[in-house]
Structure 1
Amino acid sequence: MPKIKVHICSVCRRTVPYGMSSYRSPQRLKRSSGTDGTVLHRCTCADHSDSQCYNFCNARRDEGGKMYRPGHWPWLDSYREGRSCIRYRCGLTNTIQDVLNQRPGWVEVKDDGDWDFNWCDVGWLRENFDHSYMEEHVRICHFRNHYELTRKNLMVKNLKRYRKTLEREAGRLEAAKCDFFPCTFVLPSEYHIFVEEFKRSPGSTWIMKPVARSQGKGIFLFRKLKDIIDWKKDGSRSEEQKDEAQVESYVAQRYIENPYLIAVQKTAPDYDPEKGCKWQMQQLRQYLTAKHGFETVQTLFKEIDNIFIRSLLSVQKTIINDKHCFELYGYDILLDQDLKP
């Protein structure tokens, strides 16, 4: 391997070809050695005023003048790993920020272009991802088209398509492993199909959920069509009238009327909506095992694992695979009284 001379800014930690060091005064460069004996020159400045450090941070050359792109120098990655901190950016004020603040060796930065790990919201991703160059080592907490699984209407579309593919290629028995989500329609686009299903079981409870909201916002239950008149698809209206009367897309799902309950019902007179608690998974597992037995609970958690796996497989070919991206998904699992998730 040729001896490659670079210098590294002690603040932004990015490398600049040694030949570009003329804009620095010699006394501000410190000579050191990499793990493989490569000569490194480290800039000891403590400010970001020098734009050339950023302009040339990704242009690396060996002594023969050949340019290398990030990721082609694995030995330099090990040098980066030896630095004293990991720079993170967190665009949310929540538990994630508290956890990152408490991690030894993790330092928060505010600059959009000066991080190794970015916990951002989807708005930041949408506005910045396509316009940002990311070095080999950086990580960001969303896939570019994460919404294929996180938006309710797209999730249902992908699950239905995946189930049909399984039935065609592997048979009905394998496709039945996808029968973990209720009968679902997207309104107003599937309103007329929904009405046909609704009339087959009068008196049933349905739940309406906005496709792009979270944390329970906008959700309501209904048993009568008049409660969702705003989502009625009317083919007699003109395009202009449709635009004026356009409503937010919702999914309508048949509600599980016999959910598995522990301790108290929300309709009980002593229920306090201001008081709540969460069990750790181990606590829930112990409770269920004591009440239903080890084998039953083992089967339950295998079925829950199946939900995770099948939902991810349904978008495997759709999600844009980028090595810089990862995603932490949260699942809401509702059990019926027979412990079916």
Structure 2
Amino acid sequence: MAAAFVFRMHDKGPELVREVLLERGWEEYDGGKREEEDWNLYWRGSAFHSSEYQNLLPWQRLNHHPKTVGITRKDCLARHLRRMRATFGSALYDFSPAAFILPNDYTRFLAEYNKLRLSRRCSIYWICKPVDLSRGRGIFIFEDIKDLVYDCSVIVQKYISSPLLISGYKFDLRIYVCVKSFNPLTVYIHQEGLVRFATEKYNLSSLRNLYAHLTNTSINKFGPFYRTEKGSVGQGCKWTMSKFRHFLHSLDINELLLWQRINNIVTLTLLTIASSVPSCPNCVELFGFDVLIDNKFKPWLLEVNYSPALTLDCQADVSVKKGLIGDLIDLMNYASTDRFRDRAYKKQSGSQSPAGIRVGRRTAPNGQHIPPVRVGNFIRTFPFNAATLKASQHKLDVTIITQELQKLTGLLASGHSDETKWRRDEGTRKMFPGKVARQTLLWIIIVYNLSVCITSNESLRFQHLSSGKEQLIQTIWEWYDKTKIRKTSRDLCRSVLTLKTRVFVKVFKEQKQRSIPAAQKKNVITSNKQNGCARQLAEYTGTIFPNLHRENRCHNYPLKGLNGNPGGRGWEERMLFISAGLILNSGISPC
């Protein structure tokens, strides 16, 4: 019988983690039958001791990095953000209201309170939170300073009083972030998350009503309206992130920019502690970032959760968290020999410990290792180009990283092709091999993510191509070279659409299991002419993501003129929208 991977849980641990691992054929550690080091994964809700990091063996993994409390405790996070704001400017670190740590900062808070009260006509509201409590405990909102009463260390922040509402209800986003490594910094964001709703309609006239102002499930599941229908929100108090994306499609906003700003919040927050976290390659860390969106679609960081809750309170939890844990295990990159533990490594006398990333790695021309772009629903959001890859190696160069984030955000904010501003830089050409014409950075992002979508979309049960996603990207660049496409966005659009049909042919030939009618597949495969390619892509997209058609995001746009005459002004933008729609409906991050 083949050896099994072994997991170890502290104080029984989350039942969901145990369930997922047992379903995968893992065995639970039994101290009475196994030696002390005879395990592959040690999972616990609290921090590990320093000795446990020092004694970690090559086949073992821990679910926490050391010294991450700098962003998971509210007062520590406030101090780090204050420091970064002073160093890099308030324009960059403007995603969290200034925090006052009481009682130490009481004088500063009083000065700010009086200044705002005298200078503004509208009411100013404040929120008070204990620094070391979770699940909404001890939180209250106040307008008058006489209502500020506390008996422990707290932080006070300006309350974001104009949140985006759905059917009149306040909500926030729980973003699941996995840090694979702090040195070099490697960050993944899971494309499924949770949208957490308050269970009573938002109303500033009732500040003491926590069911209207707090979104914590631990509070709202005991609310009187938890099980009642609440407009678009429905019953309960949670949506999946996929459902929220569908809601965003109905709004006239720049969705790519919104998600990129959320990505920025995650990266900039992690940069506050990245240089101080000791290197520990056999660890991962799952954070829960809570993000609020205001009525101007600006995202705000509320807090960062250590060991985010993995309980299953509703169907949204089941849909999101079970896949989340499975993808997290895959991200740990176990080798087949790890199941044999010390027996495997005793045979390798004098060998180095295989700590760190070993599976799915790609090497750049300068010898740097590039972590995989996608593992399950985890998408790598950092590093996202050659400059950030280089800046995260050895000594972290925060200045370069912040500059690259600002460039990328500026690209998405501008919303149109401008080759003089978006041309590929030297480092990016090295990261993506081939004599590629000067494509805009945004098109590179779209082509890259479309290709990932084609090779790993679960709706069609695609198995990854044997050559892998990285090889497919290489093929794309080589195909660009052979066709010698002109350096214009219009020709790139048309070439991408033609390429998609060719990729479909290759994928369908390699797949035995198919989940759409043969007639539809034949239409997609045989229609290889440029003039019909856009329509075929739209129809095929509709097969994978019916919401595109329900939201009228594809067929309402004219797709004519693909033989060389663009269909009027804005043709590139329409093609961009269709491609971006495919990305958004697939849940793939734009970076």
Which of structures 1 and 2 has the bigger CA Rg? 1
Distance 2:264 2:252 in 1: 20
- The Cα offsets for residues 5-59 of structure 1, whole Å up to 9 and x where unpaired, read as xxxxx9xxxxxxxxxxxxxxxxxxxxxxxxxxxxxxxxxxxxxxxxxxxxxxxxx
Distance 1:314 1:211 in 2: 18
Larger helix proportion of the pair: 2
- Following superposition of structure 1 onto structure 2, how do residues 306-317 of structure 1 map, counting pairs within 5 Å? 306-317=264-275
Give SS of 1:248's match.
coil
Report the counterpart of residue 113 of structure 2 in structure 1. 198
User: Is 2:49 aligned against 1:129?
Assistant: no
Distance 1:314 1:332 in 2: 17
**Cα separation, partners in 2 of 1:99 and 1:248, compared to 1, 3 Å:** farther
Structure 2: gaps (5+ residues): 118-122, 170-199, 204-211, 213-222, 228-235, 300-591
User: Is 2:91 aligned against 1:181?
Assistant: no
1:133 Cα deviation (Å)?
2.1
Distance 1:222 1:287 in 2: 32
- Following superposition of structure 1 onto structure 2, how do residues 101-250 of structure 1 map, counting pairs within 5 Å? 101-102=22-23, 104-111=24-31, 113-122=37-46, 125-126=48-49, 129=52, 133-167=55-89, 176-202=91-117, 203-230=123-150, 247-250=151-154
Report the counterpart of residue 88 of structure 1 in structure 2. 7
- The Cα offsets for residues 268-299 of structure 1, whole Å up to 9 and x where unpaired, read as 79995423232222221121121224xx1111
Give SS of 2:112's match.
helix
Distance 1:331 1:273 in 2: 26
Give SS of 2:128's match.
strand
1:325 Cα deviation (Å)?
2.1
Cα RMSD for the two superposed structures = 2.6
Distance 1:218 1:96 in 2: 29
Q: TM-score under structure 1 normalisation?
A: 0.62
Distance 2:285 2:107 in 1: 36
User: Which contiguous aligned blocks of 4+ residues in structure 1 show a shift greater than 3 angstroms?
Assistant: 110-114, 126-130, 267-273
Q: Is the 8 A contact 1:177 1:306 kept in 2?
A: no
**Cα separation, partners in 2 of 1:110 and 1:197, compared to 1, 3 Å:** farther
**Cα separation, partners in 2 of 1:113 and 1:188, compared to 1, 3 Å:** farther
Report the counterpart of residue 566 of structure 2 in structure 1. none
1:198 Cα deviation (Å)?
1.4
**Cα separation, partners in 2 of 1:139 and 1:224, compared to 1, 3 Å:** same
Report the counterpart of residue 288 of structure 1 in structure 2. 248
Report the counterpart of residue 267 of structure 1 in structure 2. 201
**Cα separation, partners in 2 of 1:128 and 1:224, compared to 1, 3 Å:** farther
Equivalent of residue 329 in structure 1, options 284, 287, 290: 287
1:166 Cα deviation (Å)?
2.3
AA at the equivalent of 2:114: K
**Cα separation, partners in 2 of 1:200 and 1:273, compared to 1, 3 Å:** farther
Report the counterpart of residue 360 of structure 2 in structure 1. none
Report the counterpart of residue 251 of structure 1 in structure 2. 155
Distance 2:273 2:100 in 1: 19
Q: Is the 8 A contact 2:248 2:255 kept in 1?
A: yes
Distance 2:244 2:29 in 1: 39
AA at the equivalent of 1:188: P
Distance 1:126 1:186 in 2: 28
- The Cα offsets for residues 225-280 of structure 1, whole Å up to 9 and x where unpaired, read as 222244xxxxxxxxxxxxxxxx4221111111010010233237999542323222
Distance 2:86 2:21 in 1: 42
Distance 2:18 2:97 in 1: 35
Report the counterpart of residue 299 of structure 1 in structure 2. 257
Q: Is the 8 A contact 2:29 2:39 kept in 1?
A: yes
Q: Is the 8 A contact 2:68 2:273 kept in 1?
A: no
Distance 2:225 2:112 in 1: 34
Paired residues, what number? 232
- The Cα offsets for residues 60-113 of structure 1, whole Å up to 9 and x where unpaired, read as xxxxxxxxxxxxxxxxxxxxxxx62111112323433332232x2211114365
Report the counterpart of residue 277 of structure 1 in structure 2. 237
Q: TM-score under structure 2 normalisation?
A: 0.37
- The Cα offsets for residues 141-172 of structure 1, whole Å up to 9 and x where unpaired, read as 112212011111111211222233324xxxxx
Q: Is the 8 A contact 1:84 1:105 kept in 2?
A: no
AA at the equivalent of 1:165: T
Q: Is the 8 A contact 1:148 1:318 kept in 2?
A: no
Distance 2:96 2:7 in 1: 37
Structure 1: gaps (5+ residues): 1-9, 11-82, 168-174, 231-246
1:220 Cα deviation (Å)?
1.4
